[in-house]
């Protein structure tokens, strides 16, 4: 079963909160994430993972079919959280996906304390292959 | 390995691997060596012709590769450690005389090893396809839609688990045979299902997992011709796969059993499957695969949907329910009862399942209830259950089918 683990962070001013951390705090955080990814890769569970650029650079694109698509600043000025990165994992069951998300959530922040990051876990739907 | 020898090579791969594991014990190293030997054969045989005894040729080449590998590995370790005295004993491995390895067919032992209950299901599936099925890691990765390194890692972890668990290369003891065979059949069943659930329309990129599962089940049946559960599983696969041309539309949409064009069903596969069921049924107590195959045979042998012998299917599901406490069986039993005796009897059977935590949130319970309510003429009551089922399923074709059904019923029940 494949799951997408989406890591959400407080929106703040549209910049990474992480940029206000001390270097050693930042390094510990990166170290943690690298360790997590290494373990997932070695377990044969990692399908993909990416981190996303800060939301200050995000744009919302819309088109209703006529003229050039409309491109505006985003994301969602009203939303308090934004997506900072995701994993796609292929695991035995939902509990395993929750366990991975649980571990990711404890990534260390300022003072080395677990951040308690919100991770949204969604099952990836299975689809027949493209007929191409 | 897309050469003329492909078929041969795939058949021989597990036998060669079995022979090497029996002789040297190291599953991981043997597996690598066999892959190298197969690659060598794929390059050489088209040019030089297939050797007189291809199995012996492959075993010889693989054994040589394995010896080279062990030697270079220990040489490397020696260089690294600079401690010649700690040379591992494998260093002394020598090339065996020509025919000592070419003995019995070890495919069955290999199958038991790859499907060992100590492995996770995903690992057992991957390892079985690689070691017994002879598929490449890239082919397996693409069949399961994961990156190749992920699958490579999964396979290498599985080999590691086998090594560390100390599973010996031998047939399980008679006392464990039944449980261990159950694990083997479950892995083959999962491979078939994965292929059946995700394959529709032409598949140019993906290996047909359902055909691969059938091939493996045939091999298991040839090795254990008296096991009625092996016969049952093979029959179930054949009888299910026989409908594959009719079960989806041009865009991969689901065509339910009662709407399928039965002229598209594969009659050869049906005949083979039905024969296996008949033969196995006469051998004694029927297990769950055989009973499921018997149900599939009843469906497949009906000329038209309305000719289906539902009372017999009701009886078979009741038998299945007695040997396995599985809510999915109870659900299918309720459907059969509804078809045989009317939707209200089926609906009342569903009430028990509402309190079963294993199935109460499963989309199939909502989908069946919606279907039976619709058959009972209560479309208004059916709609929210179709909706709930569509929101719960993780299968895109299934969701599309349910949403389409919902849209049609809504359009038909409201004035234009």
The reported pLDDT for the residue numbered B205 is: 40
The reported pLDDT for the residue numbered B84 is: 44
Across chain A, mean pLDDT equals 85
pLDDT at B82 > cutoff 70: no
pLDDT band at B359 (very low <50, low <70, confident <90, very high): very high
* Token pair listed for B363: 């989309």
Chain A residues near residue B145 by CB distance under 8 angstroms: 2, 129
B146-196 pLDDT per residue, tens = 899 999 999 988 988 888 887 777 788 888 888 899 999 999 998 998 887
The reported pLDDT for the residue numbered B98 is: 41
In a domain, B45, yes or no: yes
B342 three-class SS: coil
Nearest by CB to residue B205, choosing from A45, A90, A129, is A129
In a domain, B195, yes or no: no
Domain final residue, candidates B245, B279, B298: B298
Chain A residues near residue B146 by CB distance under 8 angstroms: 47, 90
pTM assigned to the model: 0.81
Q: Average pLDDT, stretch B394-405?
A: 87
Domain final residue, candidates B92, B112, B143: B92
Query: What is the extent of the structural domain holding A17?
Result: 2-62+70-123
Q: Average pLDDT, stretch B227-231?
A: 95
Nearest chain B residue to A42, by CA: B153
pLDDT at B36 > cutoff 60: yes
Q: How many residues would you count in chain A?
A: 132
pLDDT band at B47 (very low <50, low <70, confident <90, very high): confident
pLDDT band at B78 (very low <50, low <70, confident <90, very high): low
Nearest chain A residue to B253, by CA: A128
From B151's Cα to the closest Cα of chain A, the distance in A is 6
CA torsion angle for B211, B273, B333, B389 (degrees, to 10)? 20
The reported pLDDT for the residue numbered B2 is: 42
A61 three-class SS: strand
pLDDT at A98 > cutoff 50: yes
pLDDT at A117 > cutoff 80: yes
In a domain, B410, yes or no: yes
The reported pLDDT for the residue numbered B89 is: 42
Nearest by CB to residue A92, choosing from B120, B146, B150, is B120
From B245's Cα to the closest Cα of chain A, the distance in A is 15
Residue B248 CA to residue B200 CA, distance in Å, equals 7
Chain B residues near residue A89 by CB distance under 8 angstroms: none
In a domain, B351, yes or no: no
Longest dimension (CA), chain A: 52
Q: How many domains does chain A have?
A: 1
Domain final residue, candidates B92, B114, B149: B92
Asked if B238 and B269 count as a contact pair (C-beta separation under 8 A), the reply is: yes
The reported pLDDT for the residue numbered A76 is: 60
Nearest chain A residue to B252, by CA: A128
In a domain, B382, yes or no: yes
Query: What is the extent of the structural domain holding B77?
Result: 22-92
CA torsion angle for B224, B227, B231, B234 (degrees, to 10)? -60
Q: Which one of A1, A123, A127 makes the best mutation probe of the B interface by having the most chain B beta carbons within 10 Å?
A: A127
pLDDT band at B5 (very low <50, low <70, confident <90, very high): low
From B249's Cα to the closest Cα of chain A, the distance in A is 12
B261-305 pLDDT per residue, tens = 999 999 999 999 999 999 999 987 899 999 999 999 999 999 999
Question: Higher pLDDT residue, B208 or B349?
Answer: B349
The reported pLDDT for the residue numbered A64 is: 87
Nearest by CB to residue B121, choosing from A92, A125, A127, is A92
pLDDT at B199 > cutoff 60: no
Question: Higher pLDDT residue, B375 or A60?
Answer: B375
The reported pLDDT for the residue numbered B294 is: 97
The reported pLDDT for the residue numbered B174 is: 81
The reported pLDDT for the residue numbered B79 is: 65
Residue A39 CA to residue A36 CA, distance in Å, equals 5
Most confident residue range from B6-10, B81-85, B181-185: B181-185
Residue A121: C-alpha distances to residues A7, A13, A39, A85, A118 (Å): 9, 25, 19, 12, 10
The reported pLDDT for the residue numbered B15 is: 86
pLDDT band at A74 (very low <50, low <70, confident <90, very high): low
pLDDT at B401 > cutoff 80: yes
CA angle at B111 for the pair B107 and B115, rounded to the nearest 5°: 170
The full 3-state SS of B247-312, as one line of letters, equals CECCCCCECCHHHCCHHHCCHHHHHHHHHHHHHHHCCCCCCHHHHHHHHHHHHHCCCCHHHCCHHH
* Token pair listed for B135: 């598929």
With 0-12 / 13-18 / 19 or more C-beta atoms within 10 angstroms meaning exposed / middle / buried, residue B395 is: middle
Question: Higher pLDDT residue, B301 or B68?
Answer: B301
Q: How many domains does chain B have?
A: 3
Kind and range of the H or E run holding A123 = strand A118-123
Asked if B262 and B224 count as a contact pair (C-beta separation under 8 A), the reply is: no
In a domain, A17, yes or no: yes
From A100's Cα to the closest Cα of chain B, the distance in A is 16
In a domain, A31, yes or no: yes
In a domain, A112, yes or no: yes
Residue A21 CA to residue A17 CA, distance in Å, equals 7
Asked if B183 and B115 count as a contact pair (C-beta separation under 8 A), the reply is: yes
pLDDT band at B223 (very low <50, low <70, confident <90, very high): confident
* Token pair listed for A119: 């991770």
Residue-wise DSSP of A13-56: TSS-GGGGS-HHHHHHHHHHHHHHHHHHHHTT-EEEEEE---GG
Asked if B288 and B299 count as a contact pair (C-beta separation under 8 A), the reply is: no
The reported pLDDT for the residue numbered B400 is: 86
Residue-wise DSSP of B5-51: THHHHHHHHHHHHHHHHHHH--HHHHHHHHHHHHHHHHHHHHHH---
The reported pLDDT for the residue numbered B81 is: 58
In a domain, A132, yes or no: no
Most confident residue range from A5-19, A52-66, B41-55, B338-352: B338-352
Asked if A52 and A14 count as a contact pair (C-beta separation under 8 A), the reply is: no
The reported pLDDT for the residue numbered B128 is: 92
Residue B256 CA to residue B368 CA, distance in Å, equals 13
The reported pLDDT for the residue numbered B236 is: 97
- CATH classification at residue A55: 3.30.70.1060
The reported pLDDT for the residue numbered A102 is: 96
pLDDT band at B23 (very low <50, low <70, confident <90, very high): confident
In a domain, B55, yes or no: yes
Across chain B, mean pLDDT equals 85
Q: Average pLDDT, stretch A80-107?
A: 92
Query: A–B: how many Cβ contacts below 8 A?
Result: 68
pLDDT at B311 > cutoff 80: yes
Question: Where do we find the tokens 């505006």?
Answer: A72
Identify the CA nearest to B151 among candidates B163, B137, B133: B137
Identify the CA nearest to B196 among candidates B212, B183, B172: B212
Residue A60: C-alpha distances to residues A57, A63, A75 (Å): 10, 10, 6
In a domain, B275, yes or no: yes
In a domain, A128, yes or no: no
Residue B124 CA to residue B192 CA, distance in Å, equals 14
pLDDT at A90 > cutoff 50: yes
In a domain, A89, yes or no: yes
Q: Average pLDDT, stretch A73-100?
A: 85
B173 three-class SS: coil
Asked if B395 and B359 count as a contact pair (C-beta separation under 8 A), the reply is: no
Residue B290 CA to residue B272 CA, distance in Å, equals 14
pLDDT at A57 > cutoff 90: no
In a domain, A131, yes or no: no
With 0-12 / 13-18 / 19 or more C-beta atoms within 10 angstroms meaning exposed / middle / buried, residue B44 is: middle
Distance of CA A27 to the CA centre of its chain: 18
Question: Where do we find the tokens 């939301």?
Answer: A55
Residue A23 CA to residue A16 CA, distance in Å, equals 14
The full 3-state SS of B347-384, as one line of letters, equals HHHHHHHCCCCCCCCCHHHHHHHHHHHHHCCCHHHHHH
The reported pLDDT for the residue numbered B88 is: 46
Listed in sequence order, the residues at least 6 apart from B298 whose beta carbon sits closer than 8 Å to its beta carbon are B308, B309, B312, B313, B316
Q: Average pLDDT, stretch A20-48?
A: 92
Chain A residues near residue B391 by CB distance under 8 angstroms: none
In a domain, A130, yes or no: no
Residue B54 CA to residue B38 CA, distance in Å, equals 11
């Amino acid at each position: 079963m494949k799951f997408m683990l989406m890591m959400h962070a407080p929106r703040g001013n549209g910049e990474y909160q992480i940029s206000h951390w001390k270097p050693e705090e930042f390094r510990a955080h990166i170290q943690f994430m690298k360790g997590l990814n290494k373990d997932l890769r070695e377990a044969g569970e990692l399908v993909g993972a990416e981190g996303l650029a800060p939301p200050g650079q995000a744009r919302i694109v819309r088109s209703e079919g006529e003229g050039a698509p409309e491109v505006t600043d985003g994301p969602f000025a009203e939303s308090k959280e934004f997506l900072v990165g995701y994993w796609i994992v292929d695991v035995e069951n939902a509990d395993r996906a929750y366990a991975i998300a649980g571990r990711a959530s404890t990534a260390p922040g300022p003072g080395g304390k677990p951040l308690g990051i919100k991770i949204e876990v969604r099952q990836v739907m299975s689809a027949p292959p493209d007929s191409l | 390995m897309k050469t003329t020898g492909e078929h041969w090579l795939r058949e021989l791969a597990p036998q060669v691997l079995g022979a090497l594991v029996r002789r040297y014990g190291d599953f991981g190293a043997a597996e690598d060596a066999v892959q190298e030997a197969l690659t060598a054969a794929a390059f050489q045989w088209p040019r030089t012709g297939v050797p007189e005894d291809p199995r012996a040729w492959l075993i010889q080449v693989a054994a040589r590769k394995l010896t080279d590998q062990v030697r270079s590995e220990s040489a490397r370790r020696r260089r690294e450690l600079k401690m010649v005295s700690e040379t591992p004993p494998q260093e002394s491995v020598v090339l065996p005389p020509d025919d000592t390895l070419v003995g019995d067919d070890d495919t069955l032992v290999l199958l038991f090893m790859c499907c060992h209950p100590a492995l996770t299901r995903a690992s057992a599936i991957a390892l079985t396809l690689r070691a017994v099925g002879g598929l490449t890691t890239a082919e397996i990765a693409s069949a399961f839609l994961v990156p190749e390194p992920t699958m490579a890692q999964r396979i290498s972890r599985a080999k590691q688990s086998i090594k560390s668990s100390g599973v010996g290369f031998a047939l399980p003891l008679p006392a464990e045979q039944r449980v261990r065979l159950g694990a083997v059949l479950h892995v083959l069943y999962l491979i078939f299902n994965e292929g059946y659930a995700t394959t529709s329309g032409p598949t140019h990129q993906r290996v047909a997992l359902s055909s691969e599962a059938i091939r493996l089940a045939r091999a298991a049946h040839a090795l254990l011709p008296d096991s009625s559960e092996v016969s049952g599983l093979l029959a179930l696969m054949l009888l299910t796969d026989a409908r594959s041309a009719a079960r989806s539309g041009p865009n991969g949409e689901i065509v339910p059993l009662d709407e399928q064009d039965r002229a598209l069903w594969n009659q050869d596969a049906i005949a083979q499957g039905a024969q296996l069921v008949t033969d196995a049924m006469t051998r004694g107590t029927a297990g769950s695969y055989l009973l499921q195959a018997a149900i599939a045979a009843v469906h497949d042998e009906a000329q038209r949907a309305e000719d289906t012998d539902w009372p017999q299917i009701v009886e078979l599901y009741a038998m299945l329910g007695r040997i396995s406490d599985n809510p999915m069986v109870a659900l299918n039993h309720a459907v059969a009862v509804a078809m045989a005796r009317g939707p209200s009897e089926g609906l009342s059977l569903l009430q028990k399942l509402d309190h079963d935590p294993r199935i109460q949130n499963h989309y199939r319970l909502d989908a069946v209830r919606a279907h039976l309510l619709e058959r009972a003429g209560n479309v208004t009551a059916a709609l929210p259950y179709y909706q709930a089922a569509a929101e719960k399923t993780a299968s895109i074709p299934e969701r599309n089918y349910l949403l389409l059904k919902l849209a049609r019923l809504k359009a038909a029940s409201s004035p234009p």
